[in-house]
Amino acid sequence: MLIKNSDRIVFAGDSVTDAGRAYPLGEGGDGLGRSYVHIVDNLLAAFYPELRIRVTNAGISGNTSRDLLARFDKDVIALKPDIVSICIGINDVWRQFDSPTIPDHQVMPDEYEKNVAAMLEKLQSGPRDVFLMTPYYMEPNTSDAMRARMDEYGAACRRLSDVYGCHFINLQAMFDRYFTFRHSCSIAWDRVHPNQIGATLIAREFLSACAFDFLHISNP
């Protein structure tokens, strides 16, 4: 498994990550909120009790990439993490469609790619592993305007992962596969905020990328 004893993992993002975490620091049981972050923590603690892994939720609801970049030094770099995972961009796109009359709230593709690049630049020297999750829209129809726009942001993530040597996690593709079995409304009413099943799906995707072993059982 990529995650080692004594590692500190910081998850940065928006409401998909935040989900009611404690402030100022999202740590410790309920302090982790109810997103995929607490499920990652639960599974690590349940399957690998012999390891001490510190998990921190650094998501803030409503953040765009612009907001996250502005607080990245304070909320991520300053924690000296061993592993960082970023999931940002949904609000950059969403505001273009649910608030079409308010341009200040929107972040266009060019700026998005620059913002995320600036974060990855800051992570070059510190952590051992960096994960970049695509933003997603739980809309299987790729010709939907918002989905099509979201795919541009996902493509930027893939390009940036290649450039900066991050682990690339394609949440959009994972949800697309899932929706061949069940309708997206069984995971999220608004096609963005996953329920606990959806959070479990994201957590599994992250842990798979870490080569987590679900058959691992420690023996005293």
User: Given the rule CB under 8 A, which residues bind its own copies?
Assistant: 27-29, 38-39, 41-43, 45-47, 49-50, 52-55, 94, 97-102, 140-141, 143-146, 177-178, 180-183, 185-186, 189-191, 195-197, 199-201, 204, 214-215, 218, 220
Helix 171-178 × helix 145-164 angle, to 10°: 130
Contact in structure between 60 and 40 (CB atoms under 8 Å):
no
Please say if 216 is a catalytic residue.
no
117, amino acid identity: A
Say how far apart CA 57 and CA 41 lie, in whole Å: 10
| 167-169 β-sheet, strand order | 54-59, 8-13, 83-87, 129-133, 167-169
203, amino acid identity: A
Q: Residues 190, 208, 213, 216: which is the catalytic one?
A: 190
* Closest separation in Å from C-beta 61 to its own copies: 14
* Closest separation in Å from C-beta 146 to its own copies: 5
Contact in structure between 132 and 167 (CB atoms under 8 Å):
yes
Please say if 38 is a catalytic residue.
no
* Closest separation in Å from C-beta 118 to its own copies: 27
**Residue closer to its own copies (CB basis): 54 or 167:** 54
* Closest separation in Å from C-beta 135 to its own copies: 14
Q: Residues 7, 14, 35, 193: which is the catalytic one?
A: 193
Active site residues: 15, 190, 193
